[in-house]
Amino acid sequence: MHFHIVRALADGPASIWKLLRRTDGPIRHVYAACRELVAGNVIRHEAGQFVLTAGQHPVVAAASRRDFRDVKDQLAPIVRQAPGPAAEYFQERLVLEDLLKRLDFVYQRGDLAGRRLFVLGDDDLFSLAAALTGLPARVTVAEIDQRLVQFIADQAKRRRLEVETLHYNAADPLPKRFRRAFDVFVTDPVETLKGFTTTISRGLAALGHPGTAYFGLTELECPPVRWMAFQRMLHRAGLVLTDILRDHSWYVNEAIDEAELAQTALKRESPFQPLPPQDCLWYRSSFHRAVTVRRPTPPITGRVRFDKSFYSDRWVMTTS
Amino acid sequence: MHFHIVRALADGPASIWKLLRRTDGPIRHVYAACRELVAGNVIRHEAGQFVLTAGQHPVVAAASRRDFRDVKDQLAPIVRQAPGPAAEYFQERLVLEDLLKRLDFVYQRGDLAGRRLFVLGDDDLFSLAAALTGLPARVTVAEIDQRLVQFIADQAKRRRLEVETLHYNAADPLPKRFRRAFDVFVTDPVETLKGFTTTISRGLAALGHPGTAYFGLTELECPPVRWMAFQRMLHRAGLVLTDILRDHSWYVNEAIDEAELAQTALKRESPFQPLPPQDCLWYRSSFHRAVTVRRPTPPITGRVRFDKSFYSDRWVMTTS
């Protein structure tokens, strides 16, 4: 909230209406935040306008970011060098533009600048994108694919980015030192009941209150009753959904080669054979945001069996 | 689903990938729908492409709609003549462009063409907009403001639009003849606990299964714990959220005049007086879509007291 207000004022003086326009959350909270910022001499009010009192406020620089084009320019060659996503780990890389769209959305919500980010599974390299903005207080990435862990660590070292990497399978409990240690987590979960619940649980274990969760979820491999189960699970865990952005994130569809495709339900159950080559982007997810209303209680805390039910069911058609 | 596929093919032959791209829902359902449409000779498959078999399929014409600019052109003068929204009924009119955005979104989801629509509260004139497309099977509007009921009925008659109007206060039970009689309902609910639960309950009473609910909800006058209560209520009623589109719908802020503004918490509790004139659009809502996973069970079916708790609480600041 404070970030939203300071960011709006970094553009110049603004009426309360313009602050309300640029801020997420209740009017009552915007009013309270204005009072606190005035009391702290960060902003002042004169002739119906709010203005920044001084340029030194720690969030002013962060708040002045206009776009992430520079991040995209730096990230594009990194993505080209990265090890390809592995179908064995149910990975599929985001279109670069949509990764940046995610980054911008997280930033706009006030969930990037000064925040501690936990990225769970990261063939998209969101961790590097976030670190390249220079805005987060901390970026930690936990990833199952050792090649990716190494690649991210190497890139971070070479570019002097503070990204902590961890080789981690979400079927295992979250290491103690990461519990309740983050403000934000970002993941693209497996969409089976077990896979989703487990993956989200690890993220929630990493999260304190207030905290924010971001994740992609498809309609393609996950029917409404399953979405319902996931939404209820989030509620029981103490989170409320604030955004479900349809067709937000598109994927490049390069992880599955022709030989692998032949093994999938996508191919086997296609009503009409042969399945022609992919001639457009088609795989996409709805980007979800949820916030804590209390300290989150992940439904799963112990180890789960990393068996077929973790990654496969009758709705998952691209990898089984 | 069938509508999605036929719509995609109305643009020309398409691979299964292009159908998946253009269709909401699980891959498995897209496959099943393709099989049914081929069996019914509506579409056929040749050389890796699907094509429409004949132009006569009832949804082909509907599916060929590209945009709603003609609707906007017809609607704009109607909106100018309409009685202004009444603050006493907690109404605030949508920006016309955003009303059309809603219409387009509903259309894209397959929830307009051939559907029976129930519009609950309609100072935005969504009912006329929907009827002007010529696509719905039925449009019924229930509205508390007698001036609006009359206006919508007059306009519908003059333009030969089939819009059924009902003078109705959502505090009353839904008339029997409307129960389970619709596929889709659209509303902008009051955001108190009682007001929201009651308004949505009336919509759910109107809805059969499968059915779809659309509504706007703000962060401005509704905190996360309240959103949580609403989401849980929807789940218990048998619906799952599929979309929460932030900043989708902006409002014109004309219902509240200066004298009324002085009576509001928005003015009274403003941290810094005087409150200057509004100098931008600022009031907006997140557009929600939810679908039934079973026959919906509205939490409230009887009459509720239309008292202060219906429309007022400490978060509602623009009308109390």
pLDDT tens digit sequence for A234-269: 999 999 999 999 999 999 877 667 777 778 888 888
Binned at pLDDT 50, 70 and 90, residue A126 comes out as: very high
B230 within 8 A of B196, measured Cβ to Cβ: yes
Domains and CATH numbers, chain A: 2-63 (1.10.10.10), 69-311 (3.40.50.150)
Report the distance separating Cα B294 and Cα A223, nearest Å.
Answer: 13
Residue type, B290: A
On the question of pLDDT at B57 being above 70, the answer is: no
Number of H helices, E strands in chain B: 13, 9
Element (H or E) spanning A309, and its range?
A: helix A308-311
Mean pLDDT of A171-200: 95
pLDDT tens digit sequence for A294-316: 999 999 999 998 888 888 888 98
Report the distance separating Cα A204 and Cα A297, nearest Å.
Answer: 7
- Closest residue, chain B, to A222 (C-alpha): B26
Name, in order, each residue with C-beta under 8 angstroms of B225's C-beta and a sequence gap of 6 or more. A240, A293
For residue B43, the distance in angstroms to the closest alpha carbon of chain A comes to 12
A282:B17 CB<8 A: yes
Report the distance separating Cα A290 and Cα B227, nearest Å.
Answer: 11
A17:B223 CB<8 A: no
Q: How large is the ipTM?
A: 0.95
pLDDT at B221: 94
Q: Dihedral (C-alpha) B148, B103, B66, B36: value to the nearest 10 degrees?
A: -120
pLDDT at A307: 85
B225:A286 CB<8 A: no
B275:A228 CB<8 A: no
b (16+ CB within 10 A) / e for A290-311: bbbbeebebebeeebebeeebb
A283 within 8 A of A92, measured Cβ to Cβ: yes
**Angle at which helices A96-108 and A69-81 pack, to 10 degrees?**
140
For residue A23, the distance in angstroms to the closest alpha carbon of chain B comes to 9
For residue B191, the distance in angstroms to the closest alpha carbon of chain A comes to 12
pLDDT, mean over chain B = 91
pLDDT at B188: 93
What tokens does B103 get? 């219409």
Q: Among A189-203, A301-315, B80-94, whose mean pLDDT is lowest? A: B80-94
CA A155 remoteness from chain centre: 20
Tell me the CA distances in angstroms from A65 to A10, A15, A69, A239, B144, one per residue in order: 9, 21, 10, 29, 46
Beta pairing class for A239-250 and A207-217: unpaired
The residues pairing with A290 across neighbouring beta strands, listed in sequence order, are A213, A241
